[in-house]
Structures are given as structure tokens and as C-alpha cells.
Amino acid sequence: MKVLILGSNGLVGTALVRVLNNSIKEIEIIPSTRKDTNLFNEKETKKLIIDVKPDVVINAAAKVGGILANNTNRTEFILDNLKININILESLIKYPNIKLINLGSSCIYPLEAKNPISEDSLMTGKLEPTNSPYAMAKLTAIEMGNALRKEFGHKIINLMPTNLYGPSDNFSEKSSHVIPGLISRMNKAKIENKKSFEVWGTGQPKREFLYVDDLANAINFIINENIEEDLLNVGSGQEITIEELVYKIKKVINYKGEITFDNNMPDGNPRKLLDSSRLNSFGWKPKINLDKGLEDTYEWYLENIK
């Protein structure tokens, strides 16, 4: 089986390469990055599909960021992600035998969706406003995939992971997601012997986190078991407040200062827990708990981020 991984240098892409190399199936992995193919360019994207002739395409390519980046760079987030998804899906129109595993985000679900959030909540209400442009791009990709499935018979699986973290993440202080952002900023505060560390928001929202290798294992499981559901949530099933998370990271880093919260910064969705029972019913379960995942992520950060 020939598997083309788009966005293979990112958080999810690097985990997929690690995990699929140890798959029980004989898989030939073709990693692709912006260095070999510009997914903003339709001709280059189509040429990649024609040249590789993959059995499976995993779309892990995206413009991603945390709450601040999403809320600030709204135009960039919707346009970049739309361009990527349009070019990939249009390139696959003539190839219905190629299976596409398309990675979305839990932010596609409505702000007021009932927790735990099931796949049936899709398109039932308004989006959380701080990242609605990114969510709309992901929703559009799902709708385009549904169109290809119904009109041409494509096999397209849309995976909606919860908040991901792990090795190869973006540890920028301003454009990262919550865990890598906290790790990089708190580690800096430790080095500089800062007496206090400020966290954006109230710390009260609840979030669910999934170590990225667990997502990669879920994708490997879906390939091996030939699962063909059109929409699947992928989560850990465990939630934690941001405040509790901060103190876990404080312990991992061994930071000795005081924790404060900036209530003027946005919290985002007050609670977001996915219902992953549909995927769990096939036999997949996450393996890496948050404590272990945070330790491994911080260890990778210290070894790789200069």
C-alpha cells in the first residue's frame, strides 16, 4: 500500500511517519512537504497525485495556530486552508479509488454543542467566534469531500481530532496552541528566574488533549481495519481545566514562580469535549495519558528547540 502524507514535516505528519513505519501492513510512505510541492498551486498538487499514484492520501497540511493567531490572522487562516483543501480535493476528482483521510479540527462544531460533542452536532449552530474562519475552511473541506463521495464514489474519511500536542509542535510564544505555548513561555520564565508567570484567560475553560502519536495510531488503525466512516471524532475522552493544565506543566518544567491569569485575554469555548465512541466502537483507544505526554513533549522541546 502506497500512502502519501501531505504536510509530513508538521506535528501530525512527523507522527504519522513514525507510526506508519511500524504498521502491521506493508506500507510505502511518501512524505510530502512544501519543499517538493506547493499545495497552493493546483498544477503542482495534481502533478504530485499523478506522479505518486497513491492508494491513500492523508491530508495533514494546514495553516494552524492557537486562539490568538486564529483571532488575529483571520483572513490568512481561512484563505490558506481553503486553497490547500480545494487543490487537494480537485486533484482527486479523476481518481475515486484513492482513499483520502482528511484531518479537520474539533472547532468545526458549534459553540453551544452539547458535551461530549458527537459527530451528529455538525452544522447545528453558530461557531466559536475566535476561530470561525479556520473552522469554516475545515467545514468546506468536509462538504467538498461529501460532494465527491456522492457524485463520483470517492472514499473520504474526515477525522476531527481534539486539541493535539507532542513532538514537532509549533512552540512559538504567540502563534502556538496552548500546550506548546505554555511550555516555551514557562521554560523561558524558569531560565530567567521570573517570580511570576502570566497565563492568558481565566484558566477556567475545560479542554481535552490528545498526544499526537495517539492520533497517528488511530489513522494507522483506520487504514489497517479498512474503516470507511465519513466523519469520526478522535479524542482522549479526558478533560481538564486550563488552570489544572498550567500546574501540570509547572510541575514538569519545575518552575518555582507564581501563576497569575490575565482575565482580559479571550478564553474561547468554555468547554469542548469530543464524543469519540464511534471510533472507540471499532476497537481503537488512546494509549498515552496527559502526564506522560507532557513529559515526553517537554523532553523533545529541550532536545530540539534552541
Where in the sequence numbering do the catalytic residues fall? 134
The span from the CA of 268 to the CA of 74, in Å, is 15
Contact between 57 and 254 under an 8 Å Cβ cutoff? The reply is no
Please, which residues bridge with residue 103 across strands? 159
Helix intervals (H) in the chain: 11-20, 42-52, 67-72, 74-91, 132-152, 178-191, 212-225, 242-253, 277-280, 290-304
What angle separates helix 242-253 from helix 290-304, to the nearest 10 degrees?
50
Residue 161: CA count within 13 A, CB half-sphere: 21
Number of H helices, E strands in the chain: 10, 12
